[in-house]
Amino acid sequence: MKKELEIEERVRLLEKEVNLIGDDIERLRLDLEETVDKLKLEIQAIKMTLRELLPGFEKRHSTIRESVIREIDPEDLQ
């Protein structure tokens, strides 16, 4: 009987720990989502500015973008 109570208590503690970890993961997911959204908006603002300031930006950007995708490993960027 005592052993069963110990096991039940351990299970309750593990469930609590799993729930807390799940909450932490959800908070991290939301933080990452917010950061990505901010980056998307910043990139869009930069593109709009460059389109306005530089004639031919779209064509040059497409060419440079393709080159960057082929030649640069994102893991190497800081």
At position 30, the amino acid (one-letter code) is: L
Residue 60, pLDDT score? 92
Average pLDDT over residues 58-70: 92
Residue 39, pLDDT score? 96
Each residue's pLDDT tens digit, 20-60: 999 999 999 999 999 999 999 999 999 999 999 999 998 89
Looking at residue 55, the DSSP 8-state letter turns out to be: T
Cα angle 75-28-30, degrees, rounded to a multiple of 5? 105
